[in-house]
Structure 1
Amino acid sequence: MDVEGREPDPRFTLANERTFLTWLSTSLALSAGGVAMAAVPRGIFVPWMRTALAVVLVVLAAVAAVLAYPRWRNVQRALRHQAPLPGLALAPVFGYGVAAVALLALVLIVVAG
């Protein structure tokens, strides 16, 4: 990370760090959900849909983990240069991705029930 610029207020730096850790926690939760879905016994849900849900959850987990540090770095750079904070372009990806997983899970529950 470039260390040029003014040292930001520690509260902002710590808030940025908490956000970074939250992205990692989200990644772990998504990954655990994907592994749990993959571990569901074959006879309970439609196999291809169970696999699709597991893959989508794990892919979302990987995206969150991979982009957590660049996001932290870009926000920290903006804080140091007193520039506008970068937008969160991936918010729709995660919002719609988790909504799609929830809808597919609902279909699985209804079909299995």
Structure 2
Amino acid sequence: MGDEPSGVDGGPDQPDTRRPRSVYGVGTEPDPRFSLANERTALAWVRTSLALVAGGVAVTSLASLADLPAFLDVVAVLVCLIGAAVAVASWLSWQRTERAIRAGRPLPPPIVLRVLVVAVAVLALVMAGYAISRVAGA
């Protein structure tokens, strides 16, 4: 039983080769539950970003099939771009949080949440304005 690995990457004498080094080279190894919770949160944000991209693709597909105004294509592009921004922000948030966990510092505030809330609010207002203008013009 003395031959079992006891450290990261096979044992205490082997270097930690995990990437990114900007995350795993900071602080000490935390309780795995904290790192796994941070990873689950990041994956939930990636799932949200994927849903936004899929929604954008659906809007543009529907607009082209139903011969709807080109404005909806612009909205679809914006929704896809917001999805991309949420994906990037989730990666950055995962890194910041993991570094804080490893260094024993307080957790940073969530960036992704602010990005998503502002983007969804702006899109909702734009779509409400569009719907009102269509009803008023009819």
Once the two structures are superposed, what CA deviation does each residue of 1:77-106 show, in whole Å capped at 9, x if it has no partner?
100111011122343321021122233334
Query: When the two structures are superposed, what TM-score results if normalisation uses the length of structure 2?
Result: 0.69
Q: Tell me which of the two structures has the higher relative contact order, counting C-alpha pairs closer than 8 angstroms and 6 or more residues apart.
A: 1
Give 3-state SS (helix, strand or coil) of 1:7's partner: coil
Indicate yes or no: 2:97 matched with 1:47: no
User: In the comparison of the two structures, how many residue pairs are matched?
Assistant: 112
How far apart, CA to CA, are the structure 1 residues paired with 2:91 and 2:32?
18
Give 3-state SS (helix, strand or coil) of 2:27's partner: coil
How far apart, CA to CA, are the structure 1 residues paired with 2:63 and 2:89?
32
Which 10-residue stretch deviates more, 39-48 or 29-38?
Answer: 39-48
Residues 7, 80 of structure 1: 8 Å contact kept:
yes
Which 10-residue stretch deviates more, 80-89 or 1-10?
Answer: 1-10
Residues 63, 70 of structure 2: 8 Å contact kept:
no
Residues 1:79 and 1:57: Cα distance change in structure 2 (over 3 Å): same
Unaligned runs of 5+ in 1: none
How far apart, CA to CA, are the structure 2 residues paired with 1:88 and 1:67?
9
Instruction: Please say which structure displays the higher CA radius of gyration.
Output: 2
Indicate yes or no: 2:10 matched with 1:7: no
Residues 78, 85 of structure 1: 8 Å contact kept:
yes
2:42 aligned partner: 20
How far apart, CA to CA, are the structure 2 residues paired with 1:30 and 1:66?
13
Counterpart of 1:102, as a letter, is A
2:111 aligned partner: 89
Deviation at 1:45, TM superposition (A): 3.8
Identity %: 38
